[in-house]
């Protein structure tokens, strides 16, 4: 039998797994990897000090004041997300394509004065930008020698009377993946892998988890920016933020080699749909003390989301004697408020006449300050918020961008490092993101066309369920490739 620690820790583990899911939600909806115009993408998004790009107003609203005339852009994109996993010495790969809209918007002059002193221009802009792309497929597969999700359910259920079991453990009990141990009074459990407590543990089953996530988060940015004497630029942006996320996985455990008595397989399905709307304010400034130098800074208030979720789970099982079972929990609907962290950005850019631009951005955000509140059922989220504070930390982002001009053609490149938001000692303490990008552009007086390719990659450790003494995490490498094209007009 497994150590008695499993029984002692059952209640603690139940709480921990709940918090882990909410911790994932807080970080998923708080981080941003802006997908904008092809020029913005090709230069790594380093636009805090540059402006004059409709994606840039999501970083620094002062960039709205840099525009000199009416401009409109639209940017479709093609994404190819690839994943590679290593679990128990078995490697698997998966991929997913998606096509969508990265950006669309326009900017217009409200005030356009002659001369170069005082209020030269006051501009109004609207821009839609994709802030995150959640589309991904992941396959995790390997042979398990000493653990099972069925054992996890049995472990967290110990001490609970069998008629009071709820959640995934409740339906696992109903389909004979686990059962009460004889003589326990209906409060201790064993899985099919130990003959429900009557025999030794026998493992060797194939574990396969298929993850299929979809969705995005986006911003509708409404901005006003002013140009004072061609040296000082100020701006403010109100954002309407939208998110749509579907998290889905199917967890299969199958005795393909027929080493486990009586057992054939079980499949557990977990499905979550989340939609939300949030609001935030951004303010910023750009200074141009000399012609070749621009310095920018901006502050973003937290986004206050109201999120609605729909969740269901189900399980099916089959056994060597031909019996099969299936059950599901009633779907759940609930809502809550999430307040994301504030964000501060600073940037510097050097422009060498009309030949080249070099820009750099620094961004800071404290992910410990993400907060859940106002649950539809009155739940306080105290434990989940404490988990956020204990597990997450502040993180920095560094982005670099370059642009070279040859007549009407432009060559661009960019690089970015998005620091890990997890504290030291957490399983994903080293989960930083790295981006590499390049692109080309062609510009005429009233028309421009840009292309860009961006690669965003990271590695992470993924725990399918909480059994740290026996379950090894899967190592996942994500590679997200994004191809964008921008068509723009000036008048």
pLDDT score for 22: 78
Residues 337 and 277 in one domain: yes
Residues 25 and 44 in one domain: yes
Task: Give per-residue pLDDT as tens, 306-341.
Answer: 999 999 999 999 999 999 999 999 999 999 999 999
Choose among 433, 440, 401: nearest CA to 46.
401
pLDDT score for 377: 85
Choose among 287, 358, 293: nearest CA to 46.
358
Q: Report d(CA 9, CA 303) in Å as an integer.
A: 36
pLDDT score for 17: 36
pLDDT of 116 higher than 90? no
Choose among 10, 8, 24, 2: nearest CA to 463.
24
402 within domain boundaries: yes
Between the alpha carbon of residue 319 and those of residues 82, 92, 145, 259, 341, the distances in Å are 35, 27, 20, 13, 49
Q: Report d(CA 157, CA 180) in Å as an integer.
A: 10
Residues 113 and 193 in one domain: no
For the chain, what percent of residues have pLDDT higher than 70? Answer: 96
CATH of the domain at 118: 2.40.160.60
Residues 247 and 183 in one domain: no
pTM recorded for the entire structure: 0.92
Q: Report d(CA 267, CA 324) in Å as an integer.
A: 11
Residues 237 and 341 in one domain: yes
Residues 20 and 103 in one domain: yes
207 within domain boundaries: no
Residues 297 and 432 in one domain: yes
Task: Give per-residue pLDDT as tens, 269-286.
Answer: 999 999 999 999 999 999
Structure tokens at 160: 């609970």
Residues 196 and 232 in one domain: no
Number of domains observed in the structure of the chain: 2
Give the start-end residues of each E strand in 230-331.
Answer: 232-254, 263-290, 293-300, 304-319, 324-328
209 within domain boundaries: no
461 within domain boundaries: yes
Q: Report d(CA 389, CA 382) in Å as an integer.
A: 11
Q: Report d(CA 476, CA 87) in Å as an integer.
A: 9
Minimum mean pLDDT among 29-33, 157-161, 361-365, 378-382: which range?
378-382
Task: Give per-residue pLDDT as tens, 432-453.
Answer: 999 999 999 999 989 999 999 9
Q: Tell which of 134, 167, 202 closes a domain.
A: 202
Mean pLDDT of 466-474: 93
363 within domain boundaries: yes
In the predicted model, what is the mean pLDDT of the chain? 94
208 within domain boundaries: no
Residues 427 and 480 in one domain: yes
Q: Are 125 and 223 in contact (CB under 8 A)?
A: yes
Residues 127 and 192 in one domain: no
Structure tokens at 176: 């004979």
161 within domain boundaries: yes
Residues 426 and 438 in one domain: yes
Residues 255 and 362 in one domain: yes
Mean pLDDT of 153-165: 97
Per the structure, the complete domain to which residue 273 belongs is given by 5-144+215-490
Q: Quick one: pLDDT band at residue 9, thresholds 50, 70, 90? A: very low
């Amino acid at each position: 039998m497994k150590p008695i620690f499993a029984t002692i820790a059952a209640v603690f583990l139940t709480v921990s797994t709940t918090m882990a899911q909410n911790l994932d939600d807080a970080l998923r909806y708080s981080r941003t990897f802006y997908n904008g115009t092809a020029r913005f993408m090709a230069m790594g998004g380093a636009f805090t000090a540059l402006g004059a790009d409709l994606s840039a107003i999501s970083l620094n609203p002062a960039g709205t004041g840099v525009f000199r005339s009416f401009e409109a852009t639209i940017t479709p994109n093609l994404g190819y997300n690839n994943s590679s996993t290593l679990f128990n010495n078995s490697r698997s790969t998966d991929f997913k394509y998606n096509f969508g809209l990265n950006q669309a918007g326009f900017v217009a002059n409200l005030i356009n004065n002659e001369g170069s002193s005082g209020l030269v221009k006051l501009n109004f802009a609207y821009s839609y930008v994709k802030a995150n792309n959640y589309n991904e497929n992941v396959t995790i597969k390997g042979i398990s020698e000493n653990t099972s999700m069925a054992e996890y359910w049995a472990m967290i259920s110990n001490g609970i009377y069998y008629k009071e079991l709820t959640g995934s453990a409740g339906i696992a009990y109903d389909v004979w993946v686990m059962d009460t141990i004889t003589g326990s009074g209906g409060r201790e459990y064993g899985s099919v892998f130990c003959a429900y407590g009557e025999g030794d543990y026998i493992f060797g089953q194939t574990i396969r988890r298929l993850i299929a996530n979809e969705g995005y988060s986006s911003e509708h940015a409404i901005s006003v920016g002013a140009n004072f004497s061609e040296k000082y630029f100020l701006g403010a942006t109100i954002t309407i933020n939208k998110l749509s996320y579907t998290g889905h996985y199917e967890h299969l455990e199958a005795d393909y080699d027929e080493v486990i008595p009586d057992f054939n397989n079980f499949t557990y399905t977990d499905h979550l749909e989340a939609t939300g709307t949030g609001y935030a304010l951004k303010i910023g400034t750009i200074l141009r003390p000399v012609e070749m130098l621009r310095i920018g800074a901006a502050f973003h208030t937290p986004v206050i989301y109201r999120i609605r979720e729909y969740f269901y789970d189900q399980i099916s099982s089959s056994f060597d004697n031909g019996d099969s079972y299936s059950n599901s929990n009633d779907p759940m609907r609930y809502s809550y408020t999430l307040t994301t962290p504030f964000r501060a950005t600073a940037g510097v850019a050097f422009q060498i006449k009309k030949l080249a631009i070099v820009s750099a951005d620094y961004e800071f955000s404290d992910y410990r300050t993400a907060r859940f509140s106002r649950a539809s059922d009155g739940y306080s989220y105290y434990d989940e918020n404490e988990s956020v504070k204990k597990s997450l930390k502040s993180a920095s982002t560094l982005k670099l961008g370059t642009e070279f001009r040859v007549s009407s053609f432009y060559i661009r490149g960019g690089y970015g490092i998005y620091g890990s938001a997890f504290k030291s000692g957490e399983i994903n303490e080293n989960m930083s993101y790295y981006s590499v990008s390049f692109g080309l552009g062609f510009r005429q007086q009233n028309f421009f066309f840009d292309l860009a390719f961006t690669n965003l990659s990271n590695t992470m450790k993924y725990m399918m369920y909480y059994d740290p003494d026996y379950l090894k995490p899967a190592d996942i490498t994500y590679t997200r490739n994004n191809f964008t094209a921008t068509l723009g007009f000036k008048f």
